[in-house]
Every structure is written in C-alpha cells, then in structure tokens.
Amino acid sequence: MAEPLLSLRGVKTNIGRYHILHGVAFDVAEGGLTMLLGRNGAGKTTTLRTIMGLWRAAEGEIRFAGRDIAKMDTPDIARLGIAYVPESMAIFADLTVQENLILAARSGPIDQKRLDWIFSRFEALKRFWNLPAGHLSGGQKQMLAVARAIIEPRRLLLIDEPTKGLAPAIIAHMIAAFRELKDGEATLLVVEQNFAFARQLGDAVAVMDDGRVAHTGGMAAFAADAGLQQHLLGMGMDTHQ
Amino acid sequence: MKRDYLPLLLIPVLAAASFPLVGSWSSWVTLSVAGLAMGLMIFIMASGLTLTFGLMDVLNFGHGAFIAVGAFVAASVMLALGAWMGADSLWLNLAAIGLAVLAAMAVSGALGLAFERVIVRPVYGQHLKQILVTTGGLIVAEQLLKVVWGPDQITLTRPAALRGAILLGDVAIEKYRLLAMAIGLAVFAALALTLARTRIGLLIRAGVENGEMVESLGYRIRRLFVGVFVVGSALAGLGGAMWGLYQETVTAAIGAQVIVLVFIVIIIGGLGSVGGCFVGALLVGLTANYIGFLAPKVALGSNILLMALILLWRPQGLYPVAKR
C-alpha cells in the first residue's frame, strides 16, 4: 500500500489553557480529495492550522511526504508545497487582485497558461484584476482565496469551508475547479459543512468529534450509511446543504 | 478605482481656513512652508514606526532613542567637518550634511538592529511589556548618550549656504526648510514607490494586513520585520539629524521630546499606514505653526486637540489599515 501524502498520529494542540485536539490521527492519500467533516467545534479548523504550523502541536507526529513537519515553521511548511485557504479567506484587502496573486506566485512571474485556466473557472477575477480585493463581493473573495492557493502547482491544498456563504452558481464553479485539481497534480484536504458539496467531491472522509477523528473511510460508504452520519454528525447528509 | 481623497483635502482646507485668521499673505506663506517642513521631518521619523506597528503589532516607545542617536551622530560629524560646514561653497556644505546624515542613518540603523534583537524580540505580542521595556530602553539610551557625548547640549550652526531666507517679494522662506521639504518629499516618494511597485513593498503591505497569511504563502515575516525595523530606525536617525539642525541644538532629550508628535502623527494617520502618516504629519506641522502664530498659549495642546477631532471623525485614523 502506498504511503499517504499526509499522515497525522496522536496530534494534540492546545490554545492557551484549552485542549482542542486530543490525539488526532488520520491519513490523506496522494491524488485524491479527503473531506474533513464534523460538528461545529469538533476541531476541524484547528487541525488544518496545526498542519500548517499556525498553531504548534503540543504532541504527536505530522508527516508530509515522509518528513515530520510538526516542529517546522509555517513558511517552511508552505515551501514544501502546502497551500492553505483559511475560513476567513484572508485575502489582502488593500492589494489588488493582481497583487494578491503576484505575491502568491512565490517562485516567479505568474504562469499565463495557469492564470488563463483560473480565469476560465473564476471569470470575475479577470474582470476585477486591478481592483483592490477589499472591494470584491464575498463570493469573489472566496474565488481569489482559492486562486491564490492554486496559482502555482502545490502538492497539498488545505481548504477551510470553501463554499461558506456562496451562491449555488459559484459553488458549481468551485466544484468544477476542485475536480480538475484533483484529477491533475494536487491532493486536497477540505473542511466542509455543505454535505452535498462534500459528497459530490470527496473520495475519502475523516469525521471529527470532540478533538479526535472518530471515523475514516471512503466517502461513498459514509454517504450511504445514514446511521453513521446521524451518530457522528447529528444529522444525515441528505438533510443539510 | 475608488480612492479616499477626503483626508487629503484636510491639508488645503486647513491652510485656506487659517489664511483669513493670519491676515497677511507673506506671514501665511512663511507659516505654511514652516509647517510643511516641520511635518515632513516628523514624517521621516514616524514612517518606520507606523510600519513596524502595522507589521508586528509592536509598540516601540524607544523609537525616540534612534532619533536622538541620529541627532548626536550627525552633530559630531558636522562639528568634525567644521571647515566644510563653514565654507562658502554650497556643495561643501551639502557634502558635510550628507555625510553627517549617512553616518546618523548607519548608526541608528545598527542600533535598531540591536534594539530589535535584545529588547523587542522577547516581547512580541505583549503590548504592556512592549511599552514598559521600550520606554526603559529609551531612558537607558538617553543616559548612555550623556555618558558618550556629555550632559551639555550641543550647539549646531547651520552652514552658510543654508542660513537665512530666500525672499520672494514680501515672502521670506528659510533655506533650510526648503532642504527639509525636499528630503521629506524624496523619502515619501521612495517609500511610496517601494510599497507600490516592488515585491518587498507588496509583502510589507500584505504583512501589515495579515502577517499570518503572508507566512502561509511561504514568506518569513520576521525577517521582513527586522528589515523594516532597521530601515525605520535609520529614517528616525535621518529625521533626528535634520531636527537637530533645524533646532540648532541637540540634547539627550531630543528623542523623548519629538516622540510625542511622532505618536500623534501615526495615530492620526492610522496605525500601519504610510500614506496616513504622511497626511497626519503635514496636518500636525501646519497646525503647530498656525496655532503657534495665532494663539501661542494653546500651541502646546493644539496637536492633541487635532488628534481628538480626527479620531472623533475617523476613530481608526485617516487611512485605517484593513486588519484581519
């Protein structure tokens, strides 16, 4: 069996005196899309931030492509080919769309072919190329946040609630873009509350509960098991959009 | 692109409103030039401080130490180059000032590097400790200045070519103020171009907004911050050198005296905003000069009043930086 691209074992994270993660363990296989699901407060965002080094794991091992990254600084983790899209999007509001993407293209000038592909998926970014990003709508900001993560090839994308507050038409574009990404070079780990989106895109699933991973497996099997969904999420995937 | 020009309009509005109060055209022009020159010198000193606050949330009350050190180093160089300073050649005068300013920037920049390593780095993210420790650093620096340069004030004489005023009809404009304005505008243009047109500038602007995201993109914001801190300290040294020559005296308390105005300027402008700092500095310089002429007894408090009025209008300053 191939070694997973990302592997967490016994990861514990504290924020101040609060213990948020209590020994998270799961794998992300290379080349697919793993959905990280769970109730509010289960520790999904903390898990992504811990992988990214934004919060330091107090214990445990985080291995990416065979290297332990648990003690590495965030810029070093990013340079290994991991991109992060936070729930808040964290676009640079005073910078134009163009400037946001110039900064994200760390290794040099933006590749025009890749940019054209991004424009084909997120047309608004082309239209507002020279507009300060703070003037974009919520959906456009989300497009920019995702575009920033994919402006250069990355091995792993960590994306926190990409569909939050988005119109269905934009979600459709997002689904198409993620599908192309996972069919191409990237591996994705996505936190999502929109179960319809999760079910359409996910190859694998890890479900968190109270700072631990309570279930891992294939998305198709999980989507078919209403009892398990009810047990872990408190509702079925069919009842929530 | 939508730009906010309203704060910028305050400068001509303030100048126009003061004109009927001052009454005389020549006095008004002299005061306006003096105000702009003073404002630009304060801008030079304040620009680095506003960026370091914006980038790393560091409240550096020790910034006055770089101003004072710059003033003392420049004074020493100018005194050592007394022959050039006293010569009748404008070029020799400017060369002496140029060397003095370069030395002031180099020493203040180096001091800034040491200050960041020893004093600021251990207190990242702890505002109360930052205030206490950096204020302590300022006090220690003042005492060290007295140890090195002695407790007495140093009297500086401006070089012959920069003494006196240029007469334009009835209007007298001090030559040194024109030089101060030219240097202030050059510093502003250089900063504005760097921030707008270079990758480092983009990184600084992005870092001021959201340092965590800049790190997530693979950039080391700490290194960026140290660079900005050193440049900001060097600019404070430049400002201190110019301020010393403007006042024609240098004392160990020069930094502590000016730092109040510097803080007013960066608060008015919006913490982290270089453009806001520029507009704020010009407003402070103009207000100090107009009020100093019209009502000298309230001149001391005029800038505090200006700050209060601006914060009532825009609580985050004239150009608030979008923070995550």
Residue A69 sits in a domain whose CATH number is: 3.40.50.300
Whether B213 has its CB under 8 Å from any CB of chain A: the answer is yes
Phi, psi (degrees; rounded to nearest 5) at B248: 65, 15
pTM above 0.90?
A: no
Number of Cβ within 10 Å of residue A18's Cβ equals 9
C-alpha to C-alpha distance for B116 and B126, rounded to whole angstroms: 14
pLDDT digits (tens, 9 = 90+) for B191-203: 999 999 999 999 9
CATH number assigned to the domain comprising residue B53: 1.10.3470
- A3 in any annotated domain: yes
pLDDT digits (tens, 9 = 90+) for B132-148: 999 999 999 999 999 99
Total number of domains in chain B: 1
Where chain A has pLDDT below 50, the residues are 241
CB contact under 8 A, B206 and A134: no
CA distances from A104 to A74, A91, A134, A189, B213 (A): 15, 11, 17, 19, 10
Distance in Å, alpha carbon of A235 to nearest chain B alpha carbon: 33
- A49 in any annotated domain: yes
Contact criterion met (CB below 8 Å) for A24 and A213? yes
B318 Cβ partners below 8 Å, 6+ apart? B7, B10, B268, B269, B270, B273, B276, B279, B280, B310
CA atoms within 13 A on the CB side of B86: 6
Among chain A residues, the shortest Cα distance to B219 is held by A75
Of the candidates A3, A26, A9, A68, the residue with the CA atom closest to the CA atom of residue A189: A26
Whether B297 has its CB under 8 Å from any CB of chain A: the answer is no
B80 vs B4, which has greater pLDDT? B80
Among chain B residues, the shortest Cα distance to A48 is held by B216
Q: Which two tokens stand for residue A185?
A: 């070079």
Least confident range of B1-15, B106-120, B300-314: B1-15
CA distances from B163 to B31, B76, B167, B250 (A): 18, 19, 13, 18
- A57 in any annotated domain: yes
CB contact under 8 A, B202 and A103: yes
- A33 in any annotated domain: yes
| DSSP single-letter state for residue B72 | H
CB contact under 8 A, B216 and A74: yes
- B323 in any annotated domain: no
Whether A153 has its CB under 8 Å from any CB of chain B: the answer is no
Residues composing chain A: 241
Chain A residues touching residue B203 (CB < 8 angstroms)? 103
Chain A residues touching residue B215 (CB < 8 angstroms)? 54, 73-75, 78
ipTM surpassing 0.95 = no
Residue A29 burial by CB count (10 A; 0-12/13-18/19+): exposed, middle or buried?
middle
CB contact under 8 A, A90 and B210: yes
A158 Cβ partners below 8 Å, 6+ apart? A48, A51, A52, A82, A83, A84, A85, A189
Phi, psi (degrees; rounded to nearest 5) at B105: -65, -40
**Residue of B126, B202, B208, B217 to mutate, testing the A interface (most A Cβ within 10 Å of its Cβ):** B217
Looking at chain B, the whole-number percentage of residues with pLDDT higher than 90 is 80
Contact criterion met (CB below 8 Å) for A24 and A62? no
Helix (H) or strand (E) holding A62: strand A59-64
- B322 in any annotated domain: no
Among chain A residues, the shortest Cα distance to B195 is held by A95
Distance in Å, alpha carbon of A90 to nearest chain B alpha carbon: 7
C-alpha to C-alpha distance for A132 and A99, rounded to whole angstroms: 9
Q: Which of A75, A99, A131 sits opposite B215 (nearest CB)?
A: A75
Looking at residue B280, its pLDDT comes to: 97
Distance in Å, alpha carbon of B196 to nearest chain A alpha carbon: 9
Q: Which of A79, A83, A95 sits opposite B206 (nearest CB)?
A: A95
User: Residue B42: which domain range?
Assistant: 27-313
Looking at residue B2, its pLDDT comes to: 55
User: Residue A214: which domain range?
Assistant: 1-81+185-241
Among chain A residues, the shortest Cα distance to B199 is held by A103
- B59 in any annotated domain: yes
Mean of all residue pLDDT scores within chain B? 92
Looking at residue B1, its pLDDT comes to: 44
pLDDT digits (tens, 9 = 90+) for A57-94: 999 999 999 999 999 999 999 999 999 999 999 999 99
Q: How confident is the model at residue B52 (pLDDT cuts 50, 70, 90)?
A: confident
Total number of domains in chain A: 1
- B46 in any annotated domain: yes
Of the candidates A135, A155, A196, A190, the residue with the CA atom closest to the CA atom of residue A67: A155
- A126 in any annotated domain: no
In this structure, what is the dihedral angle of CA atoms A80, A83, A88, A92, given to the nearest 10 degrees?
90
Contact criterion met (CB below 8 Å) for B61 and B138? yes
Interface of A with B in 16-55 (CB under 8 A): 52, 54
pLDDT digits (tens, 9 = 90+) for B252-275: 999 988 999 999 999 999 998 999
Phi, psi (degrees; rounded to nearest 5) at B278: -65, -50
Whether A92 has its CB under 8 Å from any CB of chain B: the answer is yes
CA distances from B80 to B71, B96, B158, B163, B295 (A): 14, 9, 14, 19, 40
Looking at residue B324, its pLDDT comes to: 53
CB contact under 8 A, A95 and B218: no
Q: Please name every residue paired with B166 in a beta bridge, in sequence order, or none if there are none.
A: B173
C-alpha to C-alpha distance for A85 and A99, rounded to whole angstroms: 17
